[in-house]
Chain A
Amino acid sequence: MTLSVKTIPGAVVLLLAVVPGIALSQHSASASQTLRFGVLPVHSQASAVTPSSLITGKVTVSVEPASGPSGVHPSPPVSHMLLAPGSLPLRPPRGSTVILTITE
């Protein structure tokens, strides 16, 4: 703990105490660890569940967008897009239902 004294002429003596997060102790030991975190956007999630290497044939995607908040119109539906291998050019609105159909 750090303790300092500040005097103001003609006034009282103020005691200012700065208390660190951990009370200083002669008997303590610390260890640290690094955490990494994040939130993936929707389109990354969609890509993750459709690895192109596992898809043979044609893939069609239809999206049923969720209604937006009041005053915001829902995005137009994306119907039966033909996907190129290795890509999923889709960024559906939040809450949308994505239907993947794999054909020959």
Chain B
Amino acid sequence: MCGAVAAGQTVSATQRIVMEVKPVTRLVVSGAPSPLLITAGGGGGSVTDRASRYSLVTNIGGMRIAASIDRPMPSGTSLAIMLESSRGTSRGEVDITGSTVSTDVVAGIRPGSERDQTITYRFSALPGIADLASQERTVTLTLTD
């Protein structure tokens, strides 16, 4: 506010400014993993895929990423996942074969952002699994505190 001021007088005006930093948590996956096909034909074995990436941004400390699948894997097979991380601690290769309940794969993520970190999937079959028709599973990654 301002008005006519006589010489030698001081006038002040105040204003209240409200500031707030809201919590930010963003997680995005990209890339299309190739079909994980084992061609051992009964001899068992495993295949890996590293075509997927994830990026995140958060301003909250101590975040973690958990992974789950929509249905358990078929008997005699397994699925493992590994996430690289520069701002947290990767748990390495984590078995999520039956993980319809989330399992931590990265912990202790510090505030900041990560971009295009590699996601590695490993599909394995025990010897004796000679023929398994193509199936799908949905893998969900959750960034949470």
Contacts and interface: CB of A to CB of B under 8 A. Distances in A.
B93 to A, nearest CB: 15
B37 A94 contact: no
Interface in B77-106: 77, 79, 100-102
A31 B29 contact: yes
A44 B41 contact: yes
A33 B130 contact: no
B104 to A, nearest CB: 10
A21 interface: yes
- For chain B, the bracket of interface size reads 35 or more
Interface in B117-135: 119, 121, 123, 125, 129-135
Contact of B23 (A27, A43, A94): A27
A27 B63 CA distance: 9
A34 B141 contact: no
B54 to A, nearest CB: 7
Given A37-B35, A39-B132, A44-B39, A31 B54 contact: yes
Given A27-B60, A28-B145, A21 B23 contact: no
Interface of A: 21-23, 25-45, 48, 94-95
14 contacts: A21-B101, A22-B142, A25-B144, A30-B141, A31-B54, A33-B138, A34-B136, A35-B123, A36-B135, A39-B130, A40-B39, A43-B41, A94-B42, A95-B42
Given A21-B102, A28-B144, A38-B38, 7 more contacts: A21-B68, A29-B143, A31-B29, A36-B134, A38-B37, A39-B130, A48-B39
Interface of B: 23, 25-29, 33, 35-43, 52, 54, 56, 58, 60, 63, 66, 68, 77, 79, 100-102, 119, 121, 123, 125, 129-145
